[in-house]
Amino acid sequence: MKRARFAPSPTGSLHVGNALSAVANRALGDWMLLRIDDTDAARNVPGGEEELIRDLEWLGLDWDHGPVRQSERQGVYRGAVEQLGGERFGRITLLREDGTATYHLASVVDDIEFGITHVVRGNDHRANESLHRELIEALGAKPPEYVHHGLILGDHGGKLSKREPGATVGLLREAGIPAEAVRRYLEELGLPKHDVHYDLSRIRRLAIEAIAALADEELAERVGAPPELVPALRGARDLNEAREFAQLVLEPEAVSLEEKARPTLDRFRELRENGADAKEIVRELKAVGGDLKSLRLALTGRPKGPELWAVIKALSRDEALRRVDAAL
């Protein structure tokens, strides 16, 4: 059985590069440990652990054991130091001045104790492999198989900074990107042998596909809108835009249209009262050169938004006619 581990530090929302490691470990491991590497107190952020767990759950990633916090296992690490016969191992220090374990010691001791067979991590850890192998062997255990993948780079060619657009799972969620789109992008990357440039435009294209694939009830729930509004939400590029579309339909801005809009609105009233469906209404109005812009303004108070037929379909007949009357 392949036993993997994902071991983030509690420094806030997951960087997409760390999320890539999480997805890769989950895909490889029959069993996965969630370990919180929090031995470096200076780097820890209040609420950071809760944030990264929220990110993992949002991405639909589960784990079989944990979270295990290294800060709560200092006695185990000191026992390993005694076994090694000192606080130094070759060129590295095993314990800090305050007696807490350094990253290298804590990492290998935990890998041994939890029987980790495969370690999947970014290329920035490749330089640690030989040291970790030596430490594990010195502790009388067999090293796991180490798998390193390429890093995610920004447009500038350097490592993607957390400050850049969409660089963390939290930023993607705030931007209204569905979790399915982020997860699919990371799965597409898989285990890149070389560094890759972050493709936020690809994630946005996947977001459109993910929204299109959601069931009506699920889409309405995520947007916080009544199910009858779903037709007007379908063309949204992300969930934030879908929420804007819902607001646009539910809370139109008041408008006052000129008299020249009356023929189109009167024809709309006639078609709506006679039971024509939304697409049929739009086709008919287009065929006679109707003022569709004025109709959109009458129904939503805004010149842009979801497809006009979807707005008509989302509104009850009485509400649509009330808005048309009010606009004149």
| 35, 7 contact by CB (below 8 A) | yes
Distance CA 253, CA 320 (A): 14
Residues 6+ apart with CB under 8 A from 149: 20, 21, 24, 120, 121, 122, 123, 191, 192, 193
Half-sphere exposure in the Cβ direction for 270 (13 Å, CA): 8
Which pTM was predicted?
Answer: 0.90
**DSSP H or E segment with residue 138:** helix 129-138
pLDDT number for residue 315: 92
Beta-carbon neighbour count of residue 46 at 10 Å?
9
Residue 5's identity, in one-letter code, is R
Integer angstrom CA distances of residue 224 from 40, 217, 250, 314: 40, 10, 12, 15
pLDDT number for residue 157: 86
The answer to whether the bond into 144 is cis (omega within 30° of 0) is no
**Closest C-alpha among 17, 34, 16, 49 to residue 116:** 34
> Nearest 5°: phi and psi at 32?
-135, 135
pLDDT per 10-residue tile (average), the chain, 328 residues = 97 96 97 95 91 97 97 96 93 92 96 98 96 97 97 91 94 98 97 96 97 96 94 93 94 89 94 93 93 94 92 93 91
DSSP string, 3-40: EEEE---SSSSPBHHHHHHHHHHHHH-SEEEEEE----
Tell how strand 152-153 and strand 196-197 pair up.
parallel
- Superfamily covering domain 3-152: HUPs (3.40.50.620)
pLDDT number for residue 253: 87
Q: Where are the domains of the chain?
A: 3-152, 216-328
The H-assigned helical ranges of 88-167 are 103-113, 129-138
pLDDT number for residue 92: 93
Distance CA 213, CA 161 (A): 31
Hunting for tokens 């390429």 — which residue is that?
150
| 47, 83 contact by CB (below 8 A) | no
pLDDT number for residue 235: 86
pLDDT number for residue 262: 93
| 259, 294 contact by CB (below 8 A) | no
